[in-house]
């Protein structure tokens, strides 16, 4: 399982070998059929792979299994992460109301367990912030946000062209 986690992280970052990664995930999940934290973590990475590969239906099915198992095992970090992944799937499926509901659920869930697992609350709040900004930029850009995004883009362009 540790090897799988390392390889999947490489595949996720590089954006290559998705089919290989998905096949590897399927094999590992078949080897770990029970209720274990290793299965939950493998499911989390499988959700990310499927989402990044554009297989939203498969990602949703894996996420639902992952969430149920993470809650059963009281794995707060994986449960909160999975809720935020499900929210991102909802955004990709153009369902912002569902995304908002899932992000709120992730925040409430993580906050109720923040003393034991503070990283879960950080992940839930961070992902909610990213989703909110992304959705606002795409669908309802305010003049303030548009101005600052243009300024940022100009700086990035200036710095990247200055290097050449």
Reference 124, options 83, 164, 93; nearest CA is 83
How many Å apart are CA 91 and CA 59, to the nearest integer? 13
Mean pLDDT (the chain, rounded): 79
How many Å apart are CA 108 and CA 100, to the nearest integer? 12
How many Å apart are CA 55 and CA 107, to the nearest integer? 26
% residues pLDDT > 70 (the chain) = 71
Q: Where are the domains of the chain?
A: 1-73, 74-164
Mind listing the pLDDT tens digit for each residue in 53-99?
889 999 999 999 999 999 999 999 999 999 999 999 998 898 888 98
In this prediction, residue 49 carries a pLDDT of 85
In this prediction, residue 41 carries a pLDDT of 85
Sign of CA dihedral 132, 133, 134, 140: positive
């Amino acid at each position: 399982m540790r090897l799988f986690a390392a390889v999947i992280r490489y595949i996720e970052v590089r954006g290559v070998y998705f089919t290989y990664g998905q096949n590897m995930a399927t094999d590992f999940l078949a080897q770990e059929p029970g209720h274990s934290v290793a299965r939950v973590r493998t499911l989390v990475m499988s959700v990310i792979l499927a989402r990044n590969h554009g297989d939203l239906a498969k990602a949703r099915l894996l996420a639902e299994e992952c969430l149920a198992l993470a809650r059963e095992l009281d794995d707060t970090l994986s449960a909160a992460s999975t809720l935020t992944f499900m929210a991102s799937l909802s955004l990709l499926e153009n369902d912002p109301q569902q995304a908002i509901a899932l992000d709120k659920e992730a925040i409430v869930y993580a906050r109720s367990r923040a003393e034991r697992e503070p990283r879960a609350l950080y992940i839930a709040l961070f992902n909610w912030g990213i989703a909110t900004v992304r959705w606002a930029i795409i669908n309802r850009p305010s003049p303030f946000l548009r101005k600052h995004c243009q300024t940022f883009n100009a700086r990035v362009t200036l710095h990247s062209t200055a290097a050449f």
